[in-house]
Amino acid sequence: MLTDKDLDNIDKNLRELEKEGVKNILKYFDRIHDKLFTFNNILLAGYFALPQFFDSISIYGIIIPILNLGFLLLIEYRMMEKSRFDSDVRNKTQVQIDKNGKSIDKTNRYSLYAILSTLIVAGIFMYKLFTINPISKTNESAIEYIERNDSLAIKKSTIIEKSKILGAWTDNETENATIAFDKDSVVYVDLLRYYKYQIFNDQLLRYFENSIDTSTIIKLTKDSLVLKNHKYIENYEKFND
């Protein structure tokens, strides 16, 4: 039969176990928060990087991980306030202690919500990553995209239409030709670089080393060539030796 001393020892051990459990909960929450912060920062960099390489991705998407970062900071602030309260708990009233206990419960729920919100941010990023406009990936996918996109109503031009662009053109900034088109490639004279190109109706696709430039042929006559893409307009005149 247990004596009063034995019962006191058991109660003391249970209290110590309870204190240790509370410390472990806070320790594991801190570890989780650190990992969430790190992962969210990686996602933040990813959201910023995608628009730099793909025009179809908006830079405003970076707001999503920024909002999640704000939520994580809010949780850290609440944890800091809890530690500040605990450091002076002996001078608190019972009402204040009860109120702090409810606040801790709410903070614990916020921590669970933070895990969910970070997973949502990651899910949105993965969706954006795997649904990028295919014209930004490879030459083959760019052609397939143009051919199957009914809204663009693009068809391959005839040889006669393509023949209008053949020859050397100058932007009049130098005495020499600037670019020259043959049947399958365009050469940048000053750089002596050759790149494949294709024409689809009024669209000129130039396949550079690390990107595909899609320009609209605004004007094409025997003496004048005007190209426009999303960044600038190129004006050329027929070059005559």
pLDDT higher than threshold 50 for residue 110? yes
CA distance 169 to 88: 80
pTM above 0.75, yes or no: no
Residue 201, phi-psi category: left (phi > 0), alpha (psi -120 to 50), beta (remainder)? left
CA distance 100 to 77: 14
Q: What is the pLDDT of residue 24?
A: 66
pLDDT at 222: 87
Size of the chain, expressed as the number of residues it contains: 241
Which of 76-80, 178-182, 189-193 shows the lowest per-residue confidence on average (mean pLDDT)? 76-80
Which of the four pLDDT bands, split at 50, 70 and 90, describes residue 140? very low
- Quickly state the pLDDT bin for 181 (edges 50, 70, 90): very high
pLDDT-derived band of residue 151, with 50, 70 and 90 as boundaries? very low
Using CA atoms, how far apart are residues 18 and 23, in angstroms rounded to an integer?
9
pLDDT at 70: 92
Q: Which of 135, 129, 134 lies closest to 42 in space, CA to CA?
A: 129
> Mean pLDDT score of the chain, rounded to an integer?
80
Residue 160: CB atoms within 10 A of its CB come to 7
126 pLDDT more than 50: yes
User: Which one-letter DSSP state was computed for residue 136?
Assistant: G
Kindly state the percentage of the chain with pLDDT values over 90: 27
**Identity of the amino acid at 7:** L
Helices 94-130/63-86 angle, 10° precision: 160
- Predicted local confidence at residue 10, as pLDDT: 73
Report the topology of domain 154-238.
Lipocalin (2.40.128)
Write the pLDDT tens digit of every residue in 43-63: 999 898 888 877 777 888 889
Question: Hey, where are the domains in the chain?
Answer: 4-132, 154-238
DSSP secondary-structure letter at 164? T
pLDDT at 120 over 80: yes
More confident residue, 163 or 66: 66
Q: Is the pLDDT of residue 33 over 60?
A: yes
Alpha-carbon distance 206 to 210, whole Å?
11
